[in-house]
Structure 1
Amino acid sequence: MSKEGISNDSLNTLASLDVAGNTFHYYSLPEAGKTLGDVSRLPFSLKVLLENLLRNEDGETVTEDHLKAMYKWLDERNSDTEIQYRPARVLMQDFTGVPAVVDLAAMRDAMNAAGKDPARINPLSAVDLVIDHSVMVDHFADASAFKDNVAIEMERNAERYEFLRWGQQAFDNFRVVPPGTGICHQVNLEYLGQTVWTKEQDGKHYAFPDTLVGTDSHTTMINGLGILGWGVGGIEAEAAMLGQPVSMLIPEVVGFKITGKLREGITATDLVLTVTQMLRERGVVGKFVEFYGDGLKDMPVADRATIANMAPEYGATCGFFPVDEQTLKYMQLTGRDDKQIELVEAYAKAQGLWREPGHEPVYTDTLELDMGDVEASLAGPKRPQDRVALKNMKSSFELLMQTSDKDPASDTERGKMQSEGGQMPVDPGDVEDSFEHALSQHTEFNGEKFRLDPGAVVIAAITSCTNTSNPSVMMAAGLLARKALEKGLMTKPWVKTSLAPGSKVVTEYFEAGGFQEDLDKLGFNLVGYGCTTCIGNSGPLPEPIEKAVENGDLTVASVLSGNRNFEGRVHPLVKTNWLASPPLVVAYALAGNVRVDLTKDPLGKDKDGNPVYLQDIWPSQAEIAEAVEKVKTDMFRKEYAAVFDGDATWQSIKVPESKVYEWSDKSTYIQHPPFFEGMDTEPEPVEDVKDARVLALLGDSVTTDHISPAGSIKADSPAGRYLQEHGVEPKDFNSYGSRRGNHEVMMRGTFANVRIKNEMLDGVEGGYTRHVPSGEEMAIYDAAMKYQEDDTPLVVIAGKEYGTGSSRDWAAKGTRLLGVKAVVAESFERIHRSNLIGMGVMPLQFPEGVDRKSLKLTGEETISLSGMAGEPKPGQKVTMTVAYPDGKEETVELISRIDTVNEAKYFINGGILHYVLREMIKAA
């Protein structure tokens, strides 16, 4: 309900519904329509927002004017009205969850220091944290891989897991799903999500839409179950946990009409890669996308969830599917309570949230796809929206090789070349020459001698929530493996294979169909239940393979069934990474090279020496459908019966029962963060920025992976040196993601991605910059510390789509700790822009036609920003004065990307958590 607990309900919308012997009260959208107007024409996702406002109307944060603005949206199909949205719950994974709990623990310390009860810092909304990001593929292709990897995970992460166990007992409304269980989004889809949420208050039961925010971009996966949810930064999620509403403008909603059916041999993965490309080209950043059309009638929730999962890849806030018969079927399959399913149907129909055939809401914009036009596809080599038709994979890779030593086509240009079915022209006469700079390497592994060529698939991973939640593509992988074995095909010896499902249910149905044995024989043994390769936890390549790649400077490939393939993410030595369906992952493991044209070239030879082609072993839709029938409700009920219990190792972790955390100076995983040290009850006034230096001059599509990598830590990096100084050997570094509870590691890892390119340096990759006063080239962290010694403020200059990718709060936290006052870019991705504000860093946008190139910036300049002082307002102009080394100056009017009044409050306070903490201290 609202902050007082009961809505003002100025429109008299409170109604009741009798379901399965219970009476549920709810705030009726049809009743609201009697006053506002015909709200039935609103997109379903906006109906969910409208219900949220009706239920939380308090005359202050939500007023009748906000309700009217929701209806007025129908006239303009967009709105500049800011609303306060209160999701029912929060979902976390451990990479983002650990720093969130660290912040909560630090806030308890601050409350304690202020003489207040630290227990007042406590989640007010239900919070589920799923430990899924910490298992790495150290062992693979053997029967004990899972057991060995989990043992290593528990040993590596003992400090983190002790901390989370403390949080589990110290905080109310906070549940932890232990390691080795599944991926948060798949657990959410298969178990946690309810579609309709209920709450008891004042002796009454209230029903309302299940809604959430999550500290992971792919929280959007739950949209496939008719649940509105999206990713936010950990900072924003913490505020939501502590009772702060999510401040947002009423969004534009793009309708995506789906018709027809997929052709034989085409998978849900091919569909989502096509949808991703189409929506990226249309431009939906910051918008809702809602799917409609007759094609939804027979589209199972698993396919919908695959499409919804990749909303961050197509740039949307969410990709929403309304409730219908398919929703109920999935809830039945996954073992939800019968009464809950009955409530979902009755409530959705009563509220007008049920999808009826032919119903087409009003949308800001629309586009359409006939699923019959979808073709087999992959996406890469470094952006998920760059779809490549399977038939064009060979030429796509060879074009990449041609341009790798020259000035390559920009990502945008490459995307345009790929857009027509992924076709990228290449001159066959140039191909052989293009490989001369990366000679093949002869090597040996596991007793086999072979030649490693450019394009070699060194990682083939069935991984990620995107596809492992979908039985049809997983069964297709199992069937293809079986057929390959029958033909006598085997995985190439240089391919590191792995299978990391998002839940134990996958193992249940693989074993029921006998497919796990087939996959094991090809090296796709179970390695863990977690995100693994998709987030950079691919583990090391076998040493002979790594040496061959390094010695030949080979451009090799990974093929993974994930959603992210950004530079340096999967593995630092693997320069090209391709997203594909699980059966294509297996196929490329058999082929061994992305230069094998799977539509024409044989995968290998059968026992009689005859060529075997992909079409010879690709399963039919009928075979896949028969295999999917083996997925049973009992499997879900069995695996989720004790989902919060964990194994004996987890249960044996002992922690002190205390309201405040007992920090250890010796820990290299968990450290008391400095954000609240010396914080006064009133914020210091915001000041203009004078004579700042440029810390980094960056191009387009700089991702949060570039800004704050999650993968491996190099021994000679500032973070690596810090860990070694504290007694940690390189073999025990773990990953940046696992060390997010230690700000000392994370600030040293900011801008430390091995593939980031700072334009202040020529031909240099990695986290380096020029310290301008001395002219010395050094690590970005080291330069930032030198600037801090001189009290020199810093700015970052960037191109388009700054901060794409994961909802990584450390990309903003690290930026602040390095002393960066503002980031000036051509455009920002939604979550990172919000996170920068949440940490007190000003996001500023160049006006149309102005950028770092038109200003001829080299990083040698000083930057001053005026117009920030006092109380910044949403969308205000900020004047940037560029002082060039030759004494000339130029001024530009930048646009503040503080978009809402609440964001302005957060920025004035130095960040969202500072604002919340001050408010709680005052109220205590």
Structure 2
Amino acid sequence: MASHDSLQTRSKLSVGDKEYVYYSLPKAAESLGDISKLPVSLKVLLENLLRHEDGTTVKKDDFQALTDWLKERRSTSEIEYRPARVLMQDFTGVPAVVDLAAMRDAVAKAGLPANKINPLSAVDLVIDHSVMVDKFASPKAFEENVKIEMERNKERYEFLRWGQKAFDNFRVVPPGTGICHQVNLEYLAKVVWTSEEDGEQVAYPDTLVGTDSHTTMINGLGVLGWGVGGIEAEAAMLGQPISMLIPEVVGFRLEGALPEGVTATDLVLTVTQMLRKQGVVGKFVEFYGPGLKHLPLADRATIANMAPEYGATCGFFPVDDETLTYLKLSGRDEETIALVEAYAKAQGMWREEDAEPVFTDTLTLDMATVEPSLAGPKRPQDRVSLGGLNDSFELLLDSIGIAEDPEMGAPESLTRADVNDETRVPLEGTDHMLRHGDVVIAAITSCTNTSNPSVMLAAGLVAKKAIEKGLQRKPWVKSSLAPGSKVVTDYLAAAELDHYLDRLGFDLVGYGCTTCIGNSGPLPDDVSTAIDKGDLVVSSVLSGNRNFEGRIHPQVKANWLASPPLVVAFALAGTTRIDLTHEPLGQTAEGDPVYLKDIWPSTEEIKAEVAKVQSEMFKHQYANVFDGDEHWQALEIPDSETYAWDEDSTYVANPPFFVGIDKPAQEPKDIKGAHVLAVFGDTITTDHISPAGAIKPDSPAGKYLQEQGVEVRDFNSYGSRRGNHEVMMRGTFANIRIKNLMANGREGGYTVHIPSGESMSIYDAAMKYQEEKTPLVVLAGKEYGTGSSRDWAAKGTRLLGVKAVIAESFERIHRSNLVGMGVLPLQFEEDMSAQSLGLDGTEQISILGLSGDIKPGEVYDVVAKPKEGDEIKFKVKSRIDTANEVRYFLSGGILHHVLRQLVA
């Protein structure tokens, strides 16, 4: 789209023998005033606006709003942002393609060509979320897990291959290749993007949104990207701009360098703790300062990856020499690298050593003060020092209520006094005993760390030294290695460290997200039985970014994030009730104690191994990245513009979202006489709301699948069935650890139907309310919707009949997704909550003021009518934040808005 270019910024840039058109920020400054101190991340947004100026969605006033940001260091102005591309993984990608297929059906029924529905932006979907750790600690584990994955997901993969063929601008990276964020970092990202317009090559920053919240990992490469809901990403694909308020930008100054024995993982856990305490939800974080010269690109990507954990929209690192070094290492061509350098310098986006941009707020960290750390047992921001882990676990036992006195515990339950054999649980068929705190899962997994050669090679060195000392993994530990790309396997082999990891049970299990997203697979029967028999509080240690309740494994209540070398160490120790800074990991054959310091590699040793990572490894592994193996190539693909839905499929189904799209949208009206489906406390995550992990046979989703003739062994996971709304709506609010305050202390997806007073599943209650034509609301506390960018947390909410969610505060992505599905997000006034108002969920709720002209941020009156006593009246603020979101809400959702425009 040609820009109006009212500031006359269109310029030429010569790089080698090529010439590019670009929209010059220095030229814009001639009209706008000095913008040199603007954070680089906001310079990227300004360039985006200059390039897309059209007088309607982007106007001259928008440029001035970004310049004015420098005065107040914040803004209330709304802008329309258009990222260059979209990144997806298969859990979020399948429902997105389902929606696109359903939209094609809808426009075809309206008499329009089906191919009117096509991605307008480049879309890459990487299949990385479906491999599970069924087999482990075996040379055949990878081969067997891939085979099982293909059998389980054949329907989904055939559907995705159809999408790849049917839609333009849509590429699929087949399973068994790597994690989307690592593939993006190592191959897909260009830092500076180019496209042909009117016979000229236009250069502009590589920007993207992704349907996984850890899309932010690419910020480490100087590429502005963040996670959005699948709903919002689909709209971006279809040419809709992303409405956003110009964000506050928090500057994070890094000084010094990491000390000996400290890893990038320790650094990111420290940064996460600091920024979560600071409060950066909805804000950009930009890293600067002299410490960056000591921070390799992979370390930067590790920090950027965990932006969702510290709550920021993104964690951005400007382009500098280290960026160019990594581009060269990862096999990018010389032409691209030269363009990146020339463009960044021409635009003032290059990081200067002494740069001090203007920020909303700043924090400083001397990296020399970082210490070995873990985070847990339930949240990634709860960092604990390595030496404090034992004490932290004891506090967990206290909070769960494990009794000091054995006689005070339940007959089958262990107590905190489980140091004697009598109070431990034997592992059947072995001489081993299991107790609280024992590590039953040790997983080198997830995008955060498996893209970082220093921590991966450190893990290999720890394994090598452990073997040389005669140590071995404890037999109750399920160990696994799931790298984010095949390049990792190459450099572990080049360093001759892979076989040491294998000997400790860290055999390759797959290339993809595994343990971190709950694809940890079943525990061995003897371990599983012992946990249930003793009601044990056992641990997992994983190199991931997520450890929320119920996420890793339903039987594992304590989950600890740690660096890959620490994962290996805890597999050797077999317990988290240990101080590895003072207590031995194990013994040599001669009975001598072996401490962590005895097997921990030095910084120089790690550097020597990192030097073995070669550019040719990247070039080789990505040469045929879209081809797939023989299993993928053998999948049958229907040749049609619209999808031939199989009514018997329990994986892919035509959703009901677009029924009646050819009719005008309903006018908004007050919500009257609604009942409360659930009352939640603080930090209810999208892991709690959205269906994820294993499907329980006695759950509404499990019962539905059995009614369809699916055997329990073939349930697969909720994630794999995200293309089937019948399964997903039954799994919404069904997390085994969710606590509905209406359910009288019962954990899981339960509620009380009003007025009958009957206790039942949230799904069953919602269906009963639908039969009674009763609208529903949800009441919640602070940070509602924290976590991954799960579109089904919003889709399921809508399908259950929820008209509005009233919370104390919302996490960014979920709030946006609710609007995108036509669900009204409302916020209690400050210092007000369901509890302070005395609401218990038995009230009838009416929300008044919705009829007529809806505007962003309006205040509405709410009347809660209890069974007895006076009405409770209070005010709430609409969290429909922008004018574009108003349009989406009035259309019934963001995709409905796109379709209505097409049909009209």
Correspondence for 1:346: 342
**Residue 331 of structure 1 aligns to a residue in which SS?**
helix
Whether the aligned pair in 2 keeps the contact of 1:703 and 1:804 (CA below 8 Å) is yes
2: distance between equivalents of 1:43 and 1:437?
59
2: distance between equivalents of 1:913 and 1:855?
36
Matched, 1:509 2:498: no
Of 326, 331, 337, which residue of structure 1 is paired with 2:322?
A: 326
Of 249, 273, 288, which residue of structure 2 is paired with 1:277?
A: 273
Whether the aligned pair in 2 keeps the contact of 1:569 and 1:709 (CA below 8 Å) is no
The residue identity in structure 2 corresponding to 1:39 is I
**TM-aligned CA distance change 1:434 to 1:680, over 3 Å:** farther
Correspondence for 1:262: 258
Of 288, 295, 312, which residue of structure 1 is paired with 2:291?
A: 295
Query: Is there any run of 5+ residues in structure 1 with no aligned partner, and where?
Result: 408-430
The residue identity in structure 1 corresponding to 2:325 is K
The residue identity in structure 2 corresponding to 1:443 is P
Correspondence for 2:800: 818
The residue identity in structure 2 corresponding to 1:871 is D
Residue 681 of structure 1 deviates from its aligned partner by: 3.8
Correspondence for 1:410: none
- CA deviation vs aligned residue, 1:442-465 (integer Å, no higher than 9, x gap): 3336x6321001001000000000
Matched, 1:387 2:370: no
Correspondence for 1:413: none
Correspondence for 1:663: 645
Of 543, 551, 573, which residue of structure 2 is paired with 1:569?
A: 551
Matched, 1:793 2:775: yes
Of 680, 684, 694, which residue of structure 2 is paired with 1:712?
A: 694
Whether the aligned pair in 2 keeps the contact of 1:448 and 1:493 (CA below 8 Å) is no
Whether the aligned pair in 1 keeps the contact of 2:266 and 2:371 (CA below 8 Å) is yes
Whether the aligned pair in 2 keeps the contact of 1:558 and 1:576 (CA below 8 Å) is yes
Query: Any residues of structure 2 matched to 1:577-726 within 5 Å, and which?
Result: 577-726=559-708
Correspondence for 2:408: none
Correspondence for 1:14: 10
**Residue 39 of structure 1 aligns to a residue in which SS?**
coil
- CA deviation vs aligned residue, 1:238-293 (integer Å, no higher than 9, x gap): 00000000000100000000000000000000000000000000000000000000
Correspondence for 1:834: 816
Correspondence for 1:884: 866
1: distance between equivalents of 2:900 and 2:192?
34
**Residue 359 of structure 2 aligns to a residue in which SS?**
coil
Residue 109 of structure 1 deviates from its aligned partner by: 0.3
**Residue 8 of structure 1 aligns to a residue in which SS?**
coil
**TM-aligned CA distance change 1:678 to 1:333, over 3 Å:** same
Correspondence for 2:438: 456
Matched, 1:498 2:494: no
- CA deviation vs aligned residue, 1:146-202 (integer Å, no higher than 9, x gap): 000000000000000000000000000000000000000000000000000000111
Residue 849 of structure 1 deviates from its aligned partner by: 1.3
The residue identity in structure 1 corresponding to 2:240 is Q
Correspondence for 2:406: none
Matched, 1:65 2:56: no
2: distance between equivalents of 1:798 and 1:888?
22
Residue 679 of structure 1 deviates from its aligned partner by: 2.3
**Residue 295 of structure 1 aligns to a residue in which SS?**
helix
- CA deviation vs aligned residue, 1:103-150 (integer Å, no higher than 9, x gap): 000000000000001101000000000000000000000000000000
2: distance between equivalents of 1:316 and 1:608?
51
Matched, 1:184 2:167: no
Q: Percent identity?
A: 68
Whether the aligned pair in 2 keeps the contact of 1:750 and 1:814 (CA below 8 Å) is yes
Correspondence for 1:443: 426
1: distance between equivalents of 2:312 and 2:12?
35
Matched, 1:122 2:105: no
Residue 774 of structure 1 deviates from its aligned partner by: 1.5
- CA deviation vs aligned residue, 1:808-840 (integer Å, no higher than 9, x gap): 000000000000000011000000000000000
Query: Is there any run of 5+ residues in structure 2 with no aligned partner, and where?
Result: 404-413
- CA deviation vs aligned residue, 1:645-678 (integer Å, no higher than 9, x gap): 0001101112111110000011000000000012
- CA deviation vs aligned residue, 1:510-562 (integer Å, no higher than 9, x gap): 11111110000000000000000000000010111111101111000000000
- CA deviation vs aligned residue, 1:771-830 (integer Å, no higher than 9, x gap): 122111111000000000000111111111000000000000000000000001100000
Query: Any residues of structure 2 matched to 1:28-427 within 5 Å, and which?
Result: 28-405=24-401
- CA deviation vs aligned residue, 1:660-707 (integer Å, no higher than 9, x gap): 000001100000000001223421101111111111111111000000
Whether the aligned pair in 1 keeps the contact of 2:402 and 2:415 (CA below 8 Å) is no
The residue identity in structure 2 corresponding to 1:58 is D
2: distance between equivalents of 1:721 and 1:441?
36
Correspondence for 2:884: 902
Whether the aligned pair in 2 keeps the contact of 1:143 and 1:525 (CA below 8 Å) is yes
2: distance between equivalents of 1:772 and 1:551?
37
1: distance between equivalents of 2:229 and 2:544?
21
Whether the aligned pair in 1 keeps the contact of 2:88 and 2:212 (CA below 8 Å) is yes
The residue identity in structure 2 corresponding to 1:399 is L
**Residue 349 of structure 1 aligns to a residue in which SS?**
helix
2: distance between equivalents of 1:132 and 1:437?
44
Whether the aligned pair in 1 keeps the contact of 2:518 and 2:552 (CA below 8 Å) is yes
After the TM superposition, which of the residue ranges 911-920 and 849-858 deviates more from structure 2?
849-858
Whether the aligned pair in 2 keeps the contact of 1:798 and 1:824 (CA below 8 Å) is yes
2: distance between equivalents of 1:572 and 1:520?
27
Residue 438 of structure 1 deviates from its aligned partner by: 13
**Residue 783 of structure 2 aligns to a residue in which SS?**
coil
Residue 435 of structure 1 deviates from its aligned partner by: 5.6
Whether the aligned pair in 1 keeps the contact of 2:467 and 2:500 (CA below 8 Å) is yes
Matched, 1:808 2:790: yes
Of 724, 735, 741, which residue of structure 2 is paired with 1:753?
A: 735
The residue identity in structure 1 corresponding to 2:425 is H
The residue identity in structure 1 corresponding to 2:495 is G
Query: Any residues of structure 2 matched to 1:728-739 within 5 Å, and which?
Result: 728-739=710-721
> Alignment length, in residue pairs?
894
1: distance between equivalents of 2:181 and 2:62?
32
Give the aligned CA root-mean-square deviation in angstroms: 1.3
Matched, 1:849 2:849: no
Whether the aligned pair in 2 keeps the contact of 1:821 and 1:842 (CA below 8 Å) is yes
Whether the aligned pair in 2 keeps the contact of 1:438 and 1:555 (CA below 8 Å) is no
**Residue 297 of structure 1 aligns to a residue in which SS?**
helix
**Residue 145 of structure 2 aligns to a residue in which SS?**
helix
Whether the aligned pair in 2 keeps the contact of 1:440 and 1:452 (CA below 8 Å) is no
1: distance between equivalents of 2:66 and 2:433?
63
Residue 879 of structure 1 deviates from its aligned partner by: 1.1
Whether the aligned pair in 1 keeps the contact of 2:691 and 2:792 (CA below 8 Å) is no
Whether the aligned pair in 1 keeps the contact of 2:425 and 2:534 (CA below 8 Å) is no
**Residue 195 of structure 2 aligns to a residue in which SS?**
strand
Whether the aligned pair in 2 keeps the contact of 1:443 and 1:545 (CA below 8 Å) is no
Correspondence for 1:535: 517
TM-score under structure 2 length normalisation? 0.98
Residue 440 of structure 1 deviates from its aligned partner by: 4.7
2: distance between equivalents of 1:763 and 1:57?
55
The residue identity in structure 2 corresponding to 1:444 is L
**Residue 384 of structure 2 aligns to a residue in which SS?**
strand
Residue 355 of structure 1 deviates from its aligned partner by: 0.4
Matched, 1:744 2:743: no
The residue identity in structure 1 corresponding to 2:630 is A
Of 517, 520, 534, which residue of structure 2 is paired with 1:552?
A: 534
1: distance between equivalents of 2:884 and 2:421?
53
